[in-house]
Chain A
């Protein structure tokens, strides 16, 4: 249980830091200007470093995980998604993974029933929970565009209106707010409920979940419960986007909690499992074509091998071969 409680306490502590820092120590310049810039530099620099590092690793052989008919004779139907042979097949495969979590859809669960009866069944809950969480997250991030741009693109307005479809409460209740909370609760409980999952879960699995929950809760509180004046918030966001170092105006402390936790997330991102966001595109078991039979792939760092053809061999040993009575091609 320690590995669950420790990250929880860490997130709690992190949430208290801006409270103390802004409400008592008046460090709103640190939390409103210096930290966001630092976090963005770390996020972008760190992300690029990790991705470039991965890109520089040689991938000499084709190692895609396949579960379909590979390209063969013309009259055998190829499964282009499961065993891609062209770049665009592989691209479609990666995108279906990124957008719809296709491989999670095949998630199965092994259960030991009475006696020695092992049964496998399909479990789509992780797929559904993950999909709900990630898509809600994406929509929430897109919705935040109204804090960062003077002229918000039309599709953002459209998505925001769609998100507030129910048009209940004031300000209008967003469906994704409820969805993201429900999904993240499920994702935490999923790890806690099953003994096997509890065993393999690490503090680094719980920490991002708790951190994201805290960010979402702070945001929801700001919108629906403890209102914050939006004007100085937007001023500050516009200043940050124009690389200004002016001091922020008078903003409610809850906003600094939200912002600080987002900064922590951004700094944590490149060093953690959250890098799956970039890694999914670079995963060789997903993004390679299964064309080992079509094309010869040579390992680039193989030591050069001195080959000896049969003609050369015969030239070297012709006399000895003749003496031993072995047949030779050239007399």
Chain B
């Protein structure tokens, strides 16, 4: 009696494992022909003629703006920054550098002075690296 019970538990377990494996493959199959839907890209043209915020604010808080831009544009696909005065900007480093890139040391002057090493240039090309 005891032996049969033990065996049925083992076989039951094996069947469960087989089911789980099968379900996993079925799940994979059902997704194969159906790639992740791309979120509609909300964006505006790059406009570097206006400042997105007052200089005083940007001096202390630019890293926050850039961080917020990166997170919302990359993770949520929202590439439009709405300034308090109603004007819209594309959340892109190019929006900043279109104007600030004219001085190649614009970022580096202060960052080297304060010994702060941002991670921007791990992926992006810095104004120092562009011709």
Contact present for A252 and B63 (CB under 8 Å)? no
Scan residues 33-62 of chain B and give those whose CB is less than 8 A from a CB of chain A.
Answer: 56, 59-61
Which B residues lie within 8 Å of A234 (CB)? 113-114
Does B67 interact with chain A (Cβ within 8 Å)? yes
Does B110 interact with chain A (Cβ within 8 Å)? yes
In the bound assembly, the distance between CA atoms of A170 and B56 in angstroms comes to 19
Does B64 interact with chain A (Cβ within 8 Å)? yes
**Which residue in chain A gives the minimum CB-CB distance to B61?**
A227
**C-beta contact mask, A220-240 vs B, less than 8 Å → 1, else 0?**
000000011111001000000
**Which residue in chain B gives the minimum CB-CB distance to A231?**
B110
B114 to chain A, nearest CB (A): 5
Contact present for B59 and A171 (CB under 8 Å)? no
Q: How large is the interface on A (under 10, 10 to 19, 20 to 34, 35 or more residues)?
A: 10 to 19
Does A150 interact with chain B (Cβ within 8 Å)? yes
Number of A-B contacts (CB under 8 A): 31
**Which residue in chain B gives the minimum CB-CB distance to A149?**
B115
Does B116 interact with chain A (Cβ within 8 Å)? yes
**Interface SS of A by simple majority:** loop
Contact present for A170 and B63 (CB under 8 Å)? yes
Contact present for B61 and A150 (CB under 8 Å)? no
Scan residues 203-231 of chain A and give those whose CB is less than 8 A from a CB of chain B.
Answer: 227-231
Of the residues A167, A227, A230, contact of B114 by C-beta under 8 Å: A230
Of the residues A150, A167, A170, A229, contact of B60 by C-beta under 8 Å: A229
Contact present for B64 and A170 (CB under 8 Å)? yes
Contact present for A146 and B60 (CB under 8 Å)? no
Of the residues A170, A230, A252, contact of B67 by C-beta under 8 Å: A170
Contact present for B115 and A152 (CB under 8 Å)? yes
Question: Do A231 and B59 form a contact, CB below 8 Å, given A170-B64, A170-B67?
Answer: yes
**Which residue in chain B gives the minimum CB-CB distance to A252?**
B60
A211 to chain B, nearest CB (A): 26
Contact present for A171 and B63 (CB under 8 Å)? yes
**C-beta contact mask, A138-164 vs B, less than 8 Å → 1, else 0?**
000000001100101000010000000
Known: A228-B60, A234-B114. 12 other contacts (CB 8 A): A146-B114, A146-B115, A146-B116, A147-B114, A171-B116, A227-B60, A227-B61, A227-B64, A229-B56, A230-B110, A231-B110, A234-B113
17 contacts between A and B (CB under 8 A): A146-B114, A146-B115, A146-B116, A152-B115, A167-B119, A170-B63, A171-B63, A171-B116, A227-B60, A227-B61, A227-B64, A228-B60, A229-B60, A230-B110, A231-B59, A234-B114, A252-B60
A residues near B, CB below 8 A?
146-147, 150, 152, 157, 167, 170-171, 227-231, 234, 252
